[in-house]
């Protein structure tokens, strides 16, 4: 749907292989580009509730607008495609939006035209990625067929969209964990983590691990993606750790194959 560093498009089947074929409740608290959760919806793998969340309010505004106001979002993007110069980009980058649809359209615009599709915020929480270049007007827009398909997937009573931190999103009081699957795709340890104001360092990874421990003991099926580092391997040493190789494009040297971990 949009460019996103850390997208799981290339890791899709590797992750799905470790998730249940059918599950009542599904949680994805680092939703990002949404490839895992949306594919599970499309394949009919979620029976009751699909809980999609992220701490990035701009990102979640896009998903909420696509779910609730797709026509307004599409029209806002059609207008923005006429404003792709560097001056336009810098002007729109510095304007904060409160309306969910306008906020979601601005998110798409910035991540599409920003350098290498990065989303990065400064110490004040303001997007500060430099201009990456313009597109032909027809190439700027999302694929219309995919846009409509994803709206249809999200436009379901079973889908819950929230802007929240991972600890709040994983407050599963009253939920049967034996019928629940959770996919975790946090900012990878010891890599770029400026997606959000407070970053995501060693402390956050330890807190996330403690939540995994609690929910796994209650019966939840948990799958996590992370970087291949001694810290992560040691933290999850009692879990099953699977190595995968993924090609990433957001590198100044061009596409690079990197070893990552899928933890179950």
Check which CATH number belongs to the domain holding 16 and give it. Answer: 3.40.50.150
Q: For position 197, what pLDDT does the model report?
A: 59
Rounded Cα gap, residues 249 and 86, in angstroms: 23
The pLDDT mean for the chain works out to 92
Q: Residue 66: how many CB atoms within 10 A of its CB?
A: 25
Question: What is the extent of the structural domain holding 139?
Answer: 64-144
Higher-pLDDT residue of 174, 149: 149
Q: Is pLDDT of 2 > 70? A: yes
Same domain? 43 vs 171: yes
- Please indicate, yes or no, if residue 21 is contained in any of the structural domains: yes
Same domain? 50 vs 74: no
Among candidate residues 116, 144, 172, the one where a domain is terminated: 144
- Please indicate, yes or no, if residue 234 is contained in any of the structural domains: yes
Beta carbons of 64 and 162 less than 8 angstroms apart: no
| Burial class (CB within 10 angstroms; exposed 0-12, middle 13-18, buried 19+) of 257 | exposed
For the stretch 212-231, pLDDT in tens is: 999 999 999 999 999 999 99
- Please indicate, yes or no, if residue 212 is contained in any of the structural domains: yes
Q: Is pLDDT of 24 > 80? A: yes
Q: For position 244, what pLDDT does the model report?
A: 93
Q: For position 133, what pLDDT does the model report?
A: 87
Beta carbons of 231 and 189 less than 8 angstroms apart: yes
For the stretch 183-216, pLDDT in tens is: 999 999 987 655 565 678 899 999 999 999 999 9
Among candidate residues 144, 179, 206, the one where a domain is terminated: 144
In which band, very low, low, confident or very high, does the pLDDT at 131 lie, cut at 50, 70 and 90? Answer: very high
Q: For position 196, what pLDDT does the model report?
A: 62
Query: Out of 15-29, 42-56, 107-121, 193-207, which region has the weakest mean confidence (pLDDT)?
Result: 193-207
Domains in the chain: how many in total? Answer: 2
Instruction: Using alpha carbons only, give the angle 252, 254, 256 rounded to the nearest 5 degrees.
Output: 110
| Percentage of residues of the chain with pLDDT beyond 90 | 75
Q: Is pLDDT of 103 > 60? A: yes
Higher-pLDDT residue of 138, 25: 25
Count of residues making up the chain: 264
Q: Is pLDDT of 250 > 60? A: no
Same domain? 257 vs 168: yes
- Please indicate, yes or no, if residue 256 is contained in any of the structural domains: yes
- Please indicate, yes or no, if residue 2 is contained in any of the structural domains: no
Instruction: Output the pTM of the full model.
Output: 0.93
Assign residue 120 the CATH number of its domain.
1.10.1020.10
Element containing residue 51 per DSSP (H, E): strand 46-54
């Amino acid at each position: 749907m949009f460019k996103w560093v850390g997208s799981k498009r290339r890791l899709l089947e590797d992750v799905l292989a470790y998730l249940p074929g059918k599950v009542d409740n599904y949680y994805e608290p680092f939703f990002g580009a949404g490839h895992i959760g949306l594919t599970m919806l499309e394949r009919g793998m979620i029976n009751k509730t699909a809980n999609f969340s992220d701490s990035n309010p701009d990102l979640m505004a896009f998903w909420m607008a696509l779910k609730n106001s797709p026509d307004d979002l599409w029209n806002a993007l059609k207008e923005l495609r006429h404003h792709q110069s560097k001056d336009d980009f810098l002007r729109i980058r510095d304007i904060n939006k409160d309306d969910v649809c306008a906020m979601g359209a601005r998110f798409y615009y910035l991540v599409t035209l920003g350098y290498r599709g990065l989303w990065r915020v400064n110490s004040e929480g303001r997007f500060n990625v430099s201009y990456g270049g313009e597109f032909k007007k027809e190439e700027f827009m999302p694929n219309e067929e995919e846009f409509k398909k994803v709206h249809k997937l999200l436009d379901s009573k079973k889908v819950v969209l929230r802007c929240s931190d991972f600890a709040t999103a994983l407050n599963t009081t009253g939920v049967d964990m034996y019928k629940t699957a959770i996919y975790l795709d946090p900012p990878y340890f010891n890599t770029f983590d400026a997606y959000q104001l407070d970053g995501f360092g060693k402390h956050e990874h330890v807190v996330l691990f403690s939540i995994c421990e609690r929910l796994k003991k209650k019966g939840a099926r948990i799958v996590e993606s992370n970087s291949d580092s001694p810290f992560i391997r040691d933290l999850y040493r009692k879990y099953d750790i699977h190595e995968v190789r993924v090609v990433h494009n957001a590198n100044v040297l061009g596409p690079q194959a990197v070893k990552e971990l899928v933890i179950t």
